[in-house]
Amino acid sequence: MSESNVIHAGQDTFHETVLASPVPVLVDFWAEWCAPCRAIAPVLQDVAAARGQSLRVVKVDVDEHPDLARHYGVRSIPTLLLFQDGQLRAQHVGALRRVELDALLDRWQVTA
């Protein structure tokens, strides 16, 4: 699966990419050195491809953008935050398998 379905954002692009998005956005706060973050990366790529127009998947590197992580209270990675209509709606800390992430998105009422 190509990572082209996943968008990388930072301090300069977060508002446009996440907060101003017309569709729900799942933000993955991660770091290259984090093994669970690397483990969830293919899951996020699959979800981004499968949910296409109904969900945007965005990654934020906490080492490159610590102010964003601090602003959203990220203390452990991976941390997944769900934004809808520019507002933080839900969060999950820790890696997930695909079936677990799909169930979480369904519970958060993000349709496929």
User: Catalytic positions, please?
Assistant: 34, 37
On whether the CB atoms of residues 92 and 100 are closer than 8 A, the answer is no
Tokens of 32: 């290259």
Collapse the DSSP code of 31 into the 3-class scheme (helix H, G, I; strand E, B; otherwise coil) and give the result.
Answer: coil
Vertex 92: Cα angle to 10 and 44 (nearest 5) = 60
**The amino acid at 28:** D
